[in-house]
C-alpha cells in the first residue's frame, strides 16, 4: 500500500505541476474500476472520494458485499486476508458488534471460535478474546463460574473447559481417538463402549500385567532406573478391561457408597487403566502406596520415561479424585517433560496445549 501511496503522490505532483491544480476526478485512482462503478451505483462516490484510500472499503465494493449503512464501520475495520471476510464482517455488524470488536475477533480468535460466534447472538468477548484456550460458546459459563468461585479469568476459562462448573459425570463426551498416547480421560470424557487397545504387552517382570507396548517398554526402563537409585518399586495394577473396571467400581460402590467410591475409583470407560497406559506402583515396603522418598524420586524422574503422576498431591479440586501418588500415566517423553516443567494437572495441560491438535 505504501508504494501505491507514493505513486499517487508522485502522480499528483506531476498533474499539479502540469495543469496547476488537482483534478478532483483522479483522487480515487487507487480504487479499482469495479469498486468505482459500485460506489457510483450505491451513491457513495462523493463521500468516498473525500476520504483516504481504504482496502477494506474497496474489498467490500469489489466483492459486492458493500452495505451503505456500514460505510463508517468499514473504514474502521482492518482488512484481513481470509475467505468469507466480507460476509463474516457483515454478519457481525448485523449482530451489533463494533468495528473494534470485529478487529480483535479476526486478530485473536481461531477459525473454530469465529465460526461459532457467527452462529450466536452478540457476545461481549472483549475480555476473553486474547485467552488462547477460550471457547466462545462457553462465555456465559465462564462469567458465572468466575463470579461463583472468585477466580481470575484465565483459571475460570480452563476450569470451565475441563467441565468443573458441572456435576461430575454430566455432559459426557465420548473421545474419538482412544489409541492416542495423549488422550485425556476424566469424569467428563469417556472411552467408546468397545475400546480395547490392540497392542497390549505383558510386563516381563510380571506376565499377569499388561500395558500397551510402548508404555510397557518405558515402564521397565523406569523401574530399572529407580533400582539403580535404590528405589525399589513394584507394579500392582496395570491394564484393566471394561468388565474388570466395572466389577471393581461396583464393589467399591457396594461397600463404600457411590459418593465415596467416586472419589477414588473411576467409573467404567473413564479409567486410564482401560487405556493400557496407566500403572499403579508401590514401594516394596508398602502394600499399595509409595513412601515419601520413593514418591520424591518418581516426581523427579518419571517424566524422563514418559510417565506423569496423574493424581499428584494437591490436585483433587481439579481431578476430582483423591491424591493417588501411586498412579502413573504414560503420555510419551516429550509431553511428560512439558507437563513436569509446567507443573499443572493433565486436565489443565490438555485444555491449554493439546485439545486443538487432537481429534477428540
The residue among 162 and 309 lying less far from Zn ion, judged by its C-beta, is 309
Minimum distance between the CB of residue 349 and Zn ion, rounded to whole angstroms? 18
**Residue (88 or 273) nearer to Zn ion, CB:** 273
Distance CA 309, CA 146 (A): 28
- Closer to Zn ion by CB, 145 or 321: give it: 321
Sites of contact with Zn ion (CB under 5 A): 280, 327
- Side by side, the strands of the sheet bearing 324-330 are 233-237, 278-283, 324-330, 307-311
Residue whose CB is less far from Zn ion, 188 or 311 = 311
Q: For residues 161 and 265, which CB has a smaller minimum distance to Zn ion in the complex?
A: 265
The rounded distance, in Å, linking the Cα atoms of 231 and 249 is 31
Residue 244 C-beta: closest distance to Zn ion, Å? 12
In the complex with Zn ion, the residue whose CB is nearer, 146 or 189, is 189
Q: How far is the CB of 189 from Zn ion (least distance, A)?
A: 17
Give me the least distance between CB of 291 and Zn ion, in Å please.
Answer: 18
Between 88 and 282, CB nearer to Zn ion: 282
Neighbouring residues of 138: CB distance < 8 A, sequence distance ≥ 6: 157, 160, 161
Q: How far is the CB of 194 from Zn ion (least distance, A)?
A: 22
Rounded to the nearest whole angstrom, what is the least distance from the CB of residue 183 to Zn ion in the complex?
16
Minimum distance of Zn ion from residue 103's CB (angstroms): 48
Residue whose beta carbon is closest to Zn ion: 327
Amino acid at each position: 500500500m505504501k508504494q501505491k501511496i507514493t505513486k499517487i503522490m508522485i502522480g499528483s505532483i506531476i498533474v499539479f505541476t502540469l495543469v496547476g491544480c488537482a483534478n478532483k476526478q483522479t483522487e480515487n485512482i487507487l480504487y479499482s474500476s469495479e469498486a468505482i462503478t459500485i460506489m457510483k451505483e450505491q451513491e457513495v462516490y462523493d463521500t468516498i472520494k473525500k476520504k483516504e484510500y481504504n482496502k477494506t472499503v474497496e474489498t467490500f465494493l469489489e466483492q459486492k458485499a458493500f452495505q451503505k449503512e456500514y460505510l463508517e464501520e468499514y473504514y474502521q475495520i482492518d482488512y484481513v486476508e481470509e475467505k468469507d471476510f466480507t460476509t463474516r464482517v457483515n454478519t457481525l455488524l448485523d449482530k451489533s458488534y463494533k468495528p473494534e470488536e470485529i478487529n480483535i475477533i479476526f486478530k485473536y480468535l481461531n477459525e473454530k471460535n469465529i465460526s461459532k460466534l457467527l452462529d450466536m447472538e452478540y457476545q461481549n468477548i472483549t475480555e476473553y478474546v486474547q485467552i488462547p484456550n477460550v471457547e466462545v460458546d462457553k462465555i456465559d459459563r465462564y462469567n458465572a463460574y468466575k463470579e461463583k468461585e472468585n477466580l481470575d479469568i484465565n483459571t475460570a476459562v480452563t476450569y470451565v473447559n475441563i467441565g468443573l462448573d458441572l456435576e461430575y459425570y454430566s455432559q459426557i463426551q465420548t473421545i474419538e481417538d482412544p489409541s492416542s498416547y495423549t488422550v485425556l480421560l476424566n469424569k467428563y470424557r469417556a472411552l467408546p463402549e468397545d475400546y480395547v487397545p490392540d497392542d497390549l504387552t505383558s510386563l516381563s517382570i510380571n506376565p499377569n500385567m499388561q500395558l500397551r507396548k510402548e508404555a510397557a517398554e518405558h515402564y521397565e526402563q523406569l523401574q530399572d532406573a529407580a533400582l539403580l537409585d535404590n528405589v525399589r518399586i513394584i507394579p500392582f495394577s496395570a491394564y484393566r478391561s471394561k468388565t474388570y473396571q466395572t466389577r471393581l467400581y461396583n464393589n467399591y460402590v457396594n461397600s463404600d457408597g457411590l459418593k465415596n467410591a467416586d472419589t477414588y475409583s473411576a467409573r467404567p470407560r473413564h479409567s486410564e487403566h482401560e487405556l493400557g497406559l496407566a500403572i499403579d506402583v508401590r514401594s516394596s515396603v508398602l502394600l499399595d502406596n509409595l513412601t515419601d522418598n520413593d514418591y520424591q524420586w518418581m516426581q523427579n524422574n518419571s517424566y524422563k520415561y514418559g510417565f506423569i503422576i496423574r493424581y499428584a498431591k494437591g490436585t483433587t479440586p481439579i481431578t476430582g479424585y483423591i491424591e493417588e501418588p501411586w498412579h502413573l500415566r504414560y503420555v510419551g517423553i516429550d509431553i511428560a517433560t512439558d507437563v513436569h516443567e509446567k507443573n499443572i494437572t493433565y486436565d489443565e495441560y490438555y485444555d491449554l496445549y493439546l485439545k486443538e491438535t487432537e481429534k477428540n
